[in-house]
């Protein structure tokens, strides 16, 4: 089950097979960063092996119409989150009343936990939607519309390492009437089940590229899948935007590591940032308690409910030597980042094109309408 009890595992495998078999449905699948370095384990690949091209091939063989990458949308999330971070920082340095820290908002389990247990802090998370929801909104409201397809005709399916994403997909704010932006979520383990029951072995599958324009990603987007990665991606864009420089070193080792609650102090040019990173339930709650009590101050924080971040998500293949496997999966993502031609979200040409053509600029009126959300205090009944 999900680490914060956001949801118990519900099986959506039949929904996918049903939609593939329905001729009038256009099945559009997105794949989260952490899935590609873990799913191969079920087919004999070493943990951390990037099998994304085999995944695309296998999904096409299954009958999926389009296979896109959530990582592209992670770059979009960073554009919005980094702009919000910059806006809050500027107000803070001018002495204006502004809420800091800003919390990265892509972990729905943790967002729900804050809504229920820290209702006085619901203005801490960034209002940028998670990559999964940004992808689904753009896929249905921009991409499909441009091709002449209605929202109802598209089955928007998310392959996620996460069980809480099933809950996130069902939140009303991510729907238009009874049509949800993400129709349903398939966990990594569910996809393994579908492949095995369909006789698909990733070893025998020919590599295929993601479809575009929602498939091209940066290295910053890919490290979303491990602890410290989202805030590292946001920091790359925020610092380069504020200082107007191109940093030589964008691997912030201070933000990396495995301690459950770690603090990094970064000084770059005239910018000084104090950043907190937490993963796993207990350490994350400790961090929020200290912030709430005024014992700690951070400009920005990242909290992931699962140990290791999404690479250790509740929907991923189980591992006997958990820490060893998590480290290999994290290194798999770091290697993809290191070998990427584009390593900053703001340099992704398909992200830039989306703003040029449809959204104007980060935090614009149009971007707010499509890419941002709200959080709601939910008081626990005692």
Count the residues of the shown chain that bind ligand SF4, applying the rule CB under 6 A: 13
Q: Does 313 bind ligand SF4 (CB under 6 A)?
A: yes
Strand partners, 128: 372
Shortest Cβ distance from residue 158 to ligand SF4 (Å)?
A: 11
Shortest Cβ distance from residue 375 to ligand SF4 (Å)?
A: 15
The C-alpha torsion from 91 through 94 and 96 to 99, rounded to 10°, is 40
When binding is defined by CB under 6 A, the residue of 159, 264, 305, 370 that contacts ligand SF4 is 305
When binding is defined by CB under 6 A, the residue of 7, 287, 310, 326 that contacts ligand SF4 is 310
Q: Does 109 bind ligand SF4 (CB under 6 A)?
A: yes
Site for ligand SF4 in 267-296 (CB under 6 A): none
Give the Cα separation of 54 and 50 in Å (integer).
9
Q: Mask of contacts with ligand SF4, 319-358, x by CB under 6 A?
A: ----------------------------------------
Please identify, using beta-carbon distances, which residue of 250 and 310 lies nearer to ligand SF4: 310
Shortest Cβ distance from residue 230 to ligand SF4 (Å)?
A: 10
Piece in contact with ligand SF4 (CB under 6 A), picked from 120-128, 185-193, 305-313, 353-361 = 305-313
Pairing of strands 66-69, 261-268: unpaired
Instruction: With CA atoms as reference, report the closest residue to 334 among 359, 308, 360.
Output: 308
Question: Is the preceding omega at residue 101 within 30 degrees of 0, hence cis?
Answer: yes
Catalytic one of 165, 166, 307, 328:
165
Q: Does 125 bind ligand SF4 (CB under 6 A)?
A: no
Alpha carbon separation from 329 to 55, 228, 256, 284, 322 (Å, rounded) = 16, 14, 14, 22, 10
Strand partners, 102: 300
Instruction: Verify whether residue 106 is a known catalytic residue.
Output: yes
Instruction: Verify whether residue 196 is a known catalytic residue.
Output: no
Instruction: Verify whether residue 175 is a known catalytic residue.
Output: no
Instruction: Verify whether residue 126 is a known catalytic residue.
Output: yes
Give the Cα separation of 156 and 161 in Å (integer).
16
Instruction: Verify whether residue 382 is a known catalytic residue.
Output: no
Site for ligand SF4 in 151-180 (CB under 6 A): 161-162, 164-165
Piece in contact with ligand SF4 (CB under 6 A), picked from 229-237, 303-311, 327-335, 338-346 = 303-311
Shortest Cβ distance from residue 62 to ligand SF4 (Å)?
A: 23
Residue 362, number of CB atoms within 10 A of its CB: 24
Alpha-carbon Rg for the chain in angstroms: 20
Q: Are 31 and 19 in contact (CB under 8 A)?
A: no
Burial 136-163, CB ≥16 within 10 A → b, else e: bbbbbbbbbeeeeeebeebbbbbbbbbb
Catalytic one of 41, 52, 80, 84:
84
Instruction: Verify whether residue 152 is a known catalytic residue.
Output: no
When binding is defined by CB under 6 A, the residue of 27, 223, 273, 304 that contacts ligand SF4 is 304
Alpha carbon separation from 300 to 82, 95, 253, 313 (Å, rounded) = 11, 17, 16, 23
Report the residue closest to ligand SF4, judged by CB.
313
Instruction: Verify whether residue 369 is a known catalytic residue.
Output: no
Please identify, using beta-carbon distances, which residue of 102 and 354 lies nearer to ligand SF4: 102
Which residues, in sequence order, are CB contacts of 325 under 8 Å at separation 6+? 41, 47, 319
Residues of the shown chain interacting with ligand SF4 in the complex, contacts defined by CB under 6 A? 2, 107, 109, 161-162, 164-165, 304-306, 309-310, 313
């Amino acid at each position: 089950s999900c680490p914060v009890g956001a949801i118990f595992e519900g099986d959506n495998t039949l929904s996918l097979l049903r939609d593939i078999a329905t001729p009038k449905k256009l099945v559009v699948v997105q794949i989260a960063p952490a899935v590609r370095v873990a799913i191969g384990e079920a087919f004999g690949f070493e943990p951390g092996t990037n099998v994304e091209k085999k995944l695309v091939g296998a999904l096409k063989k299954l009958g999926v119409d389009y296979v896109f990458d959530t990582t592209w949308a992670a770059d979009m999330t960073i554009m919005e989150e980094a702009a919000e971070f910059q806006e809050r920082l500027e107000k803070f340095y001018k002495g204006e009343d502004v809420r800091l820290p800003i919390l990265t908002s892509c972990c729905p389990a943790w967002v729900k936990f804050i809504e229920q247990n820290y209702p006085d802090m619901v203005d801490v998370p960034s209002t940028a939607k998670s990559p999964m929801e940004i992808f689904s909104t753009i896929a249905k409201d921009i991409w499909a519309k441009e091709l002449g397809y209605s929202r109802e005709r598209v089955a928007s399916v998310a392959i996620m390492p996460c069980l809480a994403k099933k809950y996130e997909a069902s939140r009303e704010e991510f729907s238009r009437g009874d049509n949800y932006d993400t129709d349903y979520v398939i966990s990594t383990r569910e996809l393994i089940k579908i492949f095995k029951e369909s006789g698909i072995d990733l070893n025998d599958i020919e590599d295929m590229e993601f479809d575009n324009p929602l498939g091209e990603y940066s290295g910053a987007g890919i490290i979303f899948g491990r602890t410290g990665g989202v805030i590292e991606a946001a920091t790359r864009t925020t610092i380069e935007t504020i200082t107007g420089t191109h940093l030589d070193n964008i691997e912030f080792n201070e933000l990396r590591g495995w301690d459950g609650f770690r603090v990094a102090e970064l000084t770059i040019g005239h910018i000084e940032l104090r950043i907190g990173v937490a993963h796993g339930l207990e350490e994350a709650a400790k961090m929020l308690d200290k912030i709430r009590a005024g014992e700690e101050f951070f400009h920005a924080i990242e909290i992931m409910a699962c140990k290791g971040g999404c690479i250790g998500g509740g929907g991923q293949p189980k591992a006997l030597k958990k820490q060893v496997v998590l480290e290999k999966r994290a290194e798999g993502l770091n290697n993809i980042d290191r070998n990427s031609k584009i390593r900053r979200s703001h340099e992704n040409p398909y992200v830039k094109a989306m703003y040029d053509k449809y959204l104007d600029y980060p935090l614009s009126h149009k971007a707010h309408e499509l890419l941002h959300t709200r959080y709601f205090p939910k008081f626990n009944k005692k």
